Each structure stands twice: as structure tokens, then as C-alpha cells.
Amino acid sequence: MSASGSQLAVGVKRAVIYELDTDGFPLATGTTPYTGIEVVGPKAFALTVPESRKISHVGNDRVLAIDYLPPIEGMSGELRVASNDLNAKAAIAGVNVFNVGSAAIMPWGTDKQGFEVDAGLLLFQQSLDTVTKSRRWKYYLIPKARLIPSPASMDENPAEDRYTVAPNPTTKHLWGTTLVEGTEGALEMAVGEGMGIGRPNIVAFKGNGTEDTFLLPVDKPSSNVTNIVVWVDGVLQTTELGIVTLTSIPFDVAPATGAIIVVYYEY
């Protein structure tokens, strides 16, 4: 069974930031799953797509034809969160959280401004299938974006941090495969919008040449083995896998040292 592609969605249930390595893969460091930076208390995500440029060809005192060109501004977004998570903001800003006494402090207005890290982003919200009214999930998956955190104001309202999100057009998915005209219908994309039956999740591992079985996070096992998809260094794995379970991804041959294993599944 697959999602119908027509859903009624609301809210924002989860947001995960994925630090990226120099090749654009999630920043896995070993055989334990890299699960990204969990955003605590996401409240809203707004994505702005610039309008195309309207070109009016004028002559004889009238419009002869109308054409459109791509926009010359990039897409932008804003993620609003309820939590004040210094560690998450520092990781994105490229600075450190340091301690003074019992206090944790993050620097703002530093020489690192303009050098914020590139990151992937996964957000999803609950939805209902428009026909069956069964529970489904809608998500945005951004393979590469510049995220810029902003601190909360102090007033009578609940504190709210913000992340400015600037999706970059890229030729590759977060799992490393290259977009193909015949599959995606495009050679670049900035954002992928998806609909699934289960809640989406992405984890990554780094091979060591010995380990041949990789375990999914204990708190988020897969809900269906048929929805588990695995890539190694951007190559889809099919016959290379053993018997996949709800909690483990076995390989017939251990992935090479330094190989990046990315797993998409639903939980």
C-alpha cells in the first residue's frame, strides 16, 4: 500500500536538522545511527516560493504576448520553535556553548556570521487521506539549506526561537543519489514535498569494513519493512541486503570503511 498523494494536513509534529559532511551526506561518524538534531517544540514552518518573473512583450500599444522566466530570488522559510535549545542553535551557527559556573552560554554576533553550516531538514505534520480519512503524514525534506538561528524576544508572550531557512537547489537527494530527468522530472530541487502512510525518518551510519548489521534507533523502529530504503554512498541497495527487520539492516558483505549508509523508513 502507498500514500494516495491527496491529504488533508495540519500542524507540525516533528522537525529534525541533519548536519552534513563535505559530500552532502548526513554527518554519520560510526556504526551507531546518526539521527540528526531533534528540534524540541516545533510550532510552525512557513515556506515561501518566489513568483516567476512575468514578461510582457509590448508593441502596437498593446501586449503582444506574455511569457515567464524563473525567479531571481531563492526560496526561503522560517521555522518557529517553543524551546530555547542552545546546543542546536550553536551547532547551526558554527559556535560553541561554553560554561560559566552552572550557566551554559552561547555567543551571538560573532565573526562566524555568514559561515553558518549547511544542513538537511525534515519536517512532518499529521494528515488524513482525503478519500478514506485514514491517518497519514505529510512532510518537507530539504537536502541542503543554510539555517540561521535567531534568539527569542523577552516580553509577556511565551518565548519563541526562530530559524531562517534558505533551501539551496541541489542535484542530489539527502541520501546522495543524483536527480534524473526521467525519475524526478528535474535535475535540481530545493525542497521535496512528500506524503506517506507512516511517519518518515532518516538515519545514517558510517561503515568500518567489519560491521555488517546496522540497528535502527531503539525508540523509533520501523513500522513496516517494505517501506525501508537503503543507500550506500548514494547507491540504492537491493540484492546486497540480507533479511531486513523492523529494527536492523543486515548486509551480505560489510560496507567499506568510510562508506555512508543512509536509511529512509517510516515508524
pLDDT digits (tens, 9 = 90+) for 217-227: 999 999 999 99
Domain residues for the domain of 149 are: 7-48+74-197
Contacts of 229 (CB under 8 A, 6+ apart): 175, 236, 263, 264, 265
Nearest to 147 by CA among 105, 102, 99, 85: 85
Range of weakest confidence among 151-160, 178-187, 258-267:
151-160
Is there a domain that residue 107 lies in? yes
Is there a domain that residue 19 lies in? yes
Q: What are phi and psi of 183, to 5 degrees?
A: -100, -60
Nearest to 256 by CA among 216, 212, 214: 212
Question: Quick one: pLDDT at residue 4?
Answer: 67
Q: What is the tens place of the pLDDT at every residue in 122-134?
A: 999 999 999 999 9
Q: What is the tens place of the pLDDT at every residue in 92-121?
A: 999 999 999 999 999 999 999 999 989 999
164-173 mean pLDDT: 97
**Residues facing 140 on adjacent strands:** 123, 193
CA distance 267 to 17: 18
**Residues facing 137 on adjacent strands:** 126, 196
Contacts of 33 (CB under 8 A, 6+ apart): 203, 204, 205, 214, 215, 216, 217, 263
Q: How many domains does the chain have?
A: 1
The residue whose grid cell reads 539549506 is: 145
On whether the CB atoms of residues 197 and 227 are closer than 8 A, the answer is yes
On whether the CB atoms of residues 83 and 76 are closer than 8 A, the answer is no
Is there a domain that residue 217 lies in? no
CA distance 264 to 229: 5
The grid cell for 126 is 499529521
Is there a domain that residue 184 lies in? yes
Task: State the distance between the two ends of the chain, measured CA to CA, in whole angstroms.
Answer: 15
pLDDT over 90 (residue 5): no
Is there a domain that residue 202 lies in? no
CA distance 177 to 139: 19
Is there a domain that residue 43 lies in? yes
Is there a domain that residue 167 lies in? yes
